[in-house]
Structure 1
Amino acid sequence: MELVRLAGAMGLKRAQPLGAISSAGMAAFGAGAKKSRVNARGFSIAAAAVVDQDERAARRLRRKKEVSVADALAPPSTSLAPPSPAPPLSSQESIPVDNGKNSHLSNSRFDQFEVHALTLKAIKNVLGYEVMTMVQEATLPLILKGEDVLAKAKTGTGKTIAFLLPTIETILASKNAQTYHENPIRALVICPTRELAMQAAVEAQTLMKFHNELGAQTAIGGNSSVMEAKKIKLQPCQILVGTPGRLLDHIQNARGFADQLKSVKILILDEADTLLDMGFRQNLTEILKALPKKRQTLLFSATIPKEVHSISQLALKPDHKFVDTVGQDTETHAMVNQKYAVVPQESQFAVLYSILKEHIAVEPKYKVLVFCTTANITAYMAALYQKLGFNIREIHSRKTQTYRTRVSDEFRNCKGGLIMFTSDVSARGIDYPDVTLVVQIGVPAAREQYIHRLGRTGRAGKEGQGVLILLPWEEPFLRKLKDISIGRMETPKVLDLSKKLRSVISDIDQTIGTRAYQSWLGYYTTAKSLSIDKHTVVEYSRKYWASLGFSSAPAIPRLTIKKMGLAGILD
């Protein structure tokens, strides 16, 4: 396996707004989008996308890392054989490209490559891009040559265009190829979440805006599978972007769908590491069985763990090319100033309050993401801060799809002055431009989750800040970040918020508070890596609740206590 290594980057005059979804682009998925700047042929999906990284998947990841929540789903199937270790880098060809400027951009222009004139027109006139990113420059020549490629690239560095651009060229070159269906699918893109699938589909339609004969569609959850299969069958669908579960459903149940897939010339697995983290191994192996063996395959991933090497052995040719635009020492954004604070339990809420107040004071166009450990805690924290006078939005799995879509779009498009409390549904893949601060309150599920959350700021070459707030007994988590440049912050001045909290908690639906308390217990009683017993967790939970202004913790039904393994402890 050949390695094309890009250890650094090259400076450029103009940066791309990487991965951004315009309001017009998202509107192309709704009714009446004919005037959208993004061509919406073949789409009649409800407006906008669902938020990335569904929390059910995050729960699976917590269990995998031995930091699971109480309502975690069953662990993913592991039908693949144990992966072979990756070849050492020293045994692979290395082509360093580094001028020391630490940019995600290259010196190459799109028009320097053999790309169709109509596609170039869309890139220049619709997207407004002039130059390529490093991952685009590194992978485009290889993919155009028909090579299978495993690419390591961060989210937010232009990788969607990196695989879509040559895919369109492959489709144009295969117009006269043999088909097994009157409406053949030439390219299949598999994404881990509905949000990522929708983003990729919008990008595909944008690139194909001037190719009147081409179309892209999605196969995702959240809508009628029957109507979706009908549209895929009857409307232009040279590119199909889908999630594993819905794709497998169509393969097994939609008449003619398997025949459409027999014409696939190129397969793309986007965010391959997340696909596997979310438990899609079995689905992927079943989907691979339905595809032609003679095809080109591309895997794009932010990290290359053993699981990704395992699936690459099934999907890629043995002589595939490995392109690394990340390197060994740049997992997190170099532009993000990372700090952590270890605070007493009774001060946690007040410390977050002070951090937000101080950031707002120095950053007029503040745009903040606050990550909480569970959906219910997110809901309660958002309600509290809303009552305390902050401009707050919340997004988590307890909200409806329509609500999540609306709030996600609002936060994405706002120019500042907004704070969004979120669970891990926003941890990966989502492009929220100009986020000025990411706060993580409570121990993350895993090191990877910390990194993915942090990646919501410092994007497209811009600066960002990240703060991790831990309790003293969560401090051992920092050992997982020992190779990351993160310093201890000076604890901000803490105000006495007890009176304020008591004045607002009576205005909040107490069922939200009860669920938050129960969720907190569920999260930490199963956090085995923290090495704390259940008696201690219960003691800490009461301190947590007191820090929010309550004189006593809410009552929990006995059946729930029993299910949580706290019988005799919490009674």
Structure 2
Amino acid sequence: MTMVQEATLPLILKGEDVLAKAKTGTGKTIAFLLPTIETILASKNAQTYHENPIRALVICPTRELAMQAAVEAQTLMKFHNELGAQTAIGGNSSVMEAKKIKLQPCQILVGTPGRLLDHIQNARGFADQLKSVKILILDEADTLLDMGFRQNLTEILKALPKKRQTLLFSATIPKEVHSISQLALKPDHKFVDTVGQDTETHAMVNQKYAVVPQESQFAVLYSILKEHIAVEPKYKVLVFCTTANITAYMAALYQKLGFNVREIHSRKTQTYRTRVSDEFRNCKGGLIMFTSDVSARGIDYPDVTLVVQIGVPAAREQYIHRLGRTGRAGKEGQGVLILLPWEEPFLRKLKDISIGRMETPKVLDLSKKLRSVISDIDQTIGTRAYQSWLGYYTTAKSLSIDKHTVVEYSRKYWASLGFSSAPAIPRLTIKKMGLAGILD
């Protein structure tokens, strides 16, 4: 039993409201699902299952987390055929989803805030189903709020019975989480801290950073991946990029360069994301997945050997959560952060974390290779990547950099990928990014 399970299980089984501060990868999903299922079983009767009420509602910030929690619930209930867990997430037919929730066993419903609110407002009978909820669970509460779901959560809370048990799990407890806890939890709720004052990163992860010239960034990543593959036969690597469009383009480039690559980001359909996520989770090694931050929180990918973050993270917390995809379940892992010289000030936010400067790997001249493969890639993907790079860095709160400098660096970025000139961007897009008179 993990620390968070040992600390929270007795309280939850007693019916207490709980605010738990717990890292990802510490077994917290089991910590809230197991007692929830026990509570449902303890209150079951024939009429309950005939009416198919929703007894527990789990709210997660992303589709991937919701699906993962639902699968975990189904696994825990496999010897109780009368029980079921369903999902309410985007990316599929809301009508069919609502019908499935109504007609199939759904004692536990796991959903994302946007889709849940959509069902409450538009799916006939769904709000009535929620009147039977006895347990509410907010998972990754800090991320829910970081992603702007406070208003959605407030509206969902209005649709739930006031007489219920509420569990709130979060890796960090900023003031926003305190605020929502006051709204959702009873005043006498129990607070459990399994993190304390440590750096909130896994002790099993060897963390390094590299500050490299812009023209070498792509080649440095190439060398890091090649070196890791050479020493780790069962390599399983996550490469975090700053935006979905950059993720797509980087994945396309590395696939053309001969790497075994998958990609996952918000530009892909839910069906695709589910298939790729399952493939990466179940593979025994020999795979690299380029990802946006859809994989940053809570997703359980066993045996990840290396996490690479290329480009400055949006915040310190984002660095920590991405890193948490490796070094899980007591196993060792490696993390590398690749920064450009003008991104180096971000390291001040990691001053209390044990991260050392890595010896820069041998940088190969990839210009010929890149020129030979970029012609085979849909240039629309490249144009979107360039635009999203500009958009990300012109709004990056973790950096203090003027827009003229961002544009100058963007051209160097594009050149580092083998292009002689940056792609043209529509004037309207330039204006929306606040770059009129700078980029055109």
Alignment TM-score, normalising by the size of structure 1: 0.74
CA offsets, 1:143-174, max 9 Å, x none?
11111111111122111111111111211222
CA deviation after TM superposition for structure 1 residue 176, in Å = 5.6
CA deviation after TM superposition for structure 1 residue 230, in Å = 2.6
Larger RCO (CA under 8 A, 6+ residues apart): 1
User: Structure 1 residues 289, 180: closer, same or farther in 2, change over 3 A?
Assistant: farther
Compute the RMSD of aligned alpha carbons. Answer: 1.9
Contact 1:180 1:259 in 2 (8 A): no
Contact 1:181 1:260 in 2 (8 A): no
Moved more, 141-150 or 253-262: 253-262
1: CA distance, partners of 2:48 / 2:372: 68
Contact 1:339 1:488 in 2 (8 A): yes
Q: Which has the higher helix share?
A: 2
User: Structure 1 residues 474, 514: closer, same or farther in 2, change over 3 A?
Assistant: same
CA offsets, 1:464-499, max 9 Å, x none?
000001111001111111111111111111112222
Count of residue correspondences: 440
Contact 1:395 1:423 in 2 (8 A): yes
Choose from 403, 408, 412 the match for 1:543: 412
CA deviation after TM superposition for structure 1 residue 177, in Å = 11
Contact 1:426 1:453 in 2 (8 A): yes
User: Structure 1 residues 264, 475: closer, same or farther in 2, change over 3 A?
Assistant: same
User: Structure 1 residues 265, 533: closer, same or farther in 2, change over 3 A?
Assistant: same
1: CA distance, partners of 2:375 / 2:47: 68
1: CA distance, partners of 2:363 / 2:339: 15
Contact 2:314 2:397 in 1 (8 A): no
CA deviation after TM superposition for structure 1 residue 405, in Å = 2.0
2: CA distance, partners of 1:512 / 1:235: 41
CA offsets, 1:109-147, max 9 Å, x none?
xxxxxxxxxxxxxxxxxxxxxxx2221111111111111
| Consecutive unaligned residues in structure 1, runs of 5 or more | 1-131
CA deviation after TM superposition for structure 1 residue 319, in Å = 1.4
Residues 78-477 of structure 1 mapped to structure 2, 5 A cutoff: 132-175=1-44, 182-477=51-346
CA deviation after TM superposition for structure 1 residue 228, in Å = 2.4
| Consecutive unaligned residues in structure 2, runs of 5 or more | none
CA deviation after TM superposition for structure 1 residue 337, in Å = 0.5
User: Structure 1 residues 227, 504: closer, same or farther in 2, change over 3 A?
Assistant: closer
SS in 2 for 1:195: helix
Contact 1:178 1:263 in 2 (8 A): no
User: Structure 1 residues 173, 406: closer, same or farther in 2, change over 3 A?
Assistant: closer
CA deviation after TM superposition for structure 1 residue 196, in Å = 1.6
User: Structure 1 residues 213, 451: closer, same or farther in 2, change over 3 A?
Assistant: same
CA deviation after TM superposition for structure 1 residue 507, in Å = 2.3
2: CA distance, partners of 1:180 / 1:295: 19
Q: Which runs of 4+ in 1 moved over 4 A?
A: 176-181
CA offsets, 1:499-551, max 9 Å, x none?
22222222222222222222211211222542221111111111112222222
CA deviation after TM superposition for structure 1 residue 454, in Å = 0.7
CA offsets, 1:370-392, max 9 Å, x none?
11111221122222222222222
Moved more, 239-248 or 412-421: 239-248
User: Structure 1 residues 251, 504: closer, same or farther in 2, change over 3 A?
Assistant: closer
User: Structure 1 residues 227, 141: closer, same or farther in 2, change over 3 A?
Assistant: same
2: CA distance, partners of 1:370 / 1:221: 25
Moved more, 134-143 or 335-344: 134-143
CA deviation after TM superposition for structure 1 residue 365, in Å = 0.9
Moved more, 215-224 or 538-547: 215-224
2: CA distance, partners of 1:525 / 1:360: 35
2: CA distance, partners of 1:211 / 1:217: 15
SS in 1 for 2:50: coil
